[in-house]
Chain A
Amino acid sequence: MIKKIGLGLLLLTGTSSCQVVKEFQKNRLNDAEMILANRKIEKTELSFQSYREGASGANAGKSGGGCGCN
């Protein structure tokens, strides 16, 4: 499974050769919905998921602290 995902990622990055994008060409990349992180409105969702599920992290959020007891 992990090998397949790894191969997929390699294929994806390998086939999409990176182009240099100038600042004035970044209007789509700078769109609020293109942000490469969780959006602020997802804050409580991430919090309850970290309580209700065994896995957490790798989402540029907090990776510890707080209780998670309920």
Chain B
Amino acid sequence: MKKICLTVVGLYIGLFAAFSQSNTDSSYRSRKLKIEEINLVSSYYHQEGDHAAVTGGIGSQKLTDFSNSLEVKLIRYDRANRKQTWSADIGLDHYTSASSDKIDPKSVSSASYADTRIYPSFSFSRENEKKGTEWGAGLSYSGEYDYTSIGASIHGSKKTANKMGELTVKGQVYLDQISLIYPIELRDGNSTDPLKRGGDSRNSYSLAMSWSQIINQRFQLAFLLDLVQQQGYLSLPFNRVYFTDGTVHVERLPDSRFKVPLGFRANYFAGDRLVLRSYYRYYFDNWGLTAHTASLETSVKISPFFSVSPFYRFYQQTGVDYFEPYLTHTPGKDFYTSNFDLSKFTSHFFGSGIRLAPPKGVFGIQHFNSLELRYGHYSRSNTLQSNIVSVHLKWK
């Protein structure tokens, strides 16, 4: 009897061990590159306003933009079981702008009335889940009729020993080239300004740091700090400025700008159905602009697979030192602009989104992981109003 009992116990331990073995095997991860997810984001944006910078701070700001971006993310595990992520993203924007058409108002509909921007990017990252470290690098390009931008980035992150906190540091460089297209009346010697011809450069260097911290099972937050230095031609050559003496000039801004945005995020999962996402940012730069941004989004989970997310964002900025509206700049200044994007204003942005992520896939299509729709209305205190509709489809 004892022998039988021992045999049964032995068999049980053997079976247990066998399952333990199979569990160990199941941790094997594919070294082949496979698609992790595909994301398609499309948006339609429309704005109206009465302070176009091209016409010196007066005139229509009517603009529509249709943008699409497709991202393919691939992953594999290397021999040391480190996760490698390869990502390729391509974006395509097509816009029409009433104010751009006023660079040459004599033309019925000039080439500047519409433009297309294409912006591919590639990135690679390698994560060591055991050590809690990650590093990565990326390359990007953006091209439109009068502007090209080449970007490169590197980043690294390290989690704390208990994996509750994480420090991320990212360095980015953008090397931009701008074609100097002046308003028609200021071209080819029509102006006394010593204007440059051809093209010019604008370079941006940024160091972004963030610390994210898990507080408990429902609460996590992040502190963000960017240090950004821009150098080169930071004006826009087709923005007019009308002085008090009636003369017209091209916008002129300093060739260096140092920006410091400081941000804070806090997300809280309340109960089983409510997610609160909050964000605050304080910004200042050496052009005299300071700004506060605060936003709150509440995602209400109607079911585990369907949520509704109303949101509100408040923004307030002081103007840059060089801003004056139409016909108020006095001659003799070194720098001047009538671009209302750099003026003092407050703005409100609100709307709602819905997210659908059923376990069997959207519309029963297994790999169609989630569908999101979002609408927002933007209202600025200096007449600009806009609406945006976005859709995000995710395959996984």
Residues of A participating in the B interface, judged by any CB pair closer than 8 Å: 1-2, 5, 9, 12-13, 16, 18-21, 25-26, 28-29, 31-37, 39-45, 47-49, 51-60, 62-67, 69-70
Contact = CB atoms under 8 A, between A and B. Distances in A.
A25 to B, nearest CB: 5
A33 B289 CA distance: 32
B258 to A, nearest CB: 12
A55 B289 contact: yes
Interface in B135-151: 140, 142, 144, 146-147, 149, 151
Contacts of B58: none
Nearest to A50: B341
21 contacts: A9-B264, A34-B275, A36-B221, A39-B392, A40-B39, A41-B41, A43-B390, A48-B47, A48-B386, A49-B315, A54-B289, A54-B317, A55-B285, A56-B261, A58-B226, A58-B262, A59-B261, A65-B149, A65-B151, A65-B204, A69-B236
Nearest to B345: A53
Interface of B is mostly: strand
A42 B56 CA distance: 31
B172 interface: yes
A1 B292 CA distance: 10
B353 A41 contact: yes
A18 B220 CA distance: 10
Contacts of A53: 291, 315, 317, 341, 347
B384 A70 contact: no
A33 to B, nearest CB: 4
A59 B224 contact: yes
A57 B216 CA distance: 28
A70 B226 contact: no
Interface residues of B, number: 100
Given A19-B217, A36-B220, 8 more contacts: A13-B213, A18-B215, A20-B164, A31-B269, A52-B347, A55-B291, A59-B224, A65-B140
A67 B269 contact: no
Contacts of A33: 275, 277, 299, 307, 309, 355
Interface of B: 39, 41, 43, 45, 47, 63, 65, 67, 69, 71, 95, 97, 99-100, 117, 119, 140, 142, 144, 146-147, 149, 151, 162, 164, 172, 174, 176, 178, 204-206, 208, 210, 212-222, 224-226, 228, 230, 236, 238, 259, 261-267, 269, 275, 277, 279-283, 285, 289, 291-293, 299, 307, 309, 315, 317, 319-320, 341-342, 347, 349, 353, 355, 357, 370, 372, 374, 376, 378, 380, 384, 386, 388, 390-392, 394
Given A34-B269, A36-B212, A54 B320 contact: yes
Contacts of A40: 39, 41, 71, 392, 394
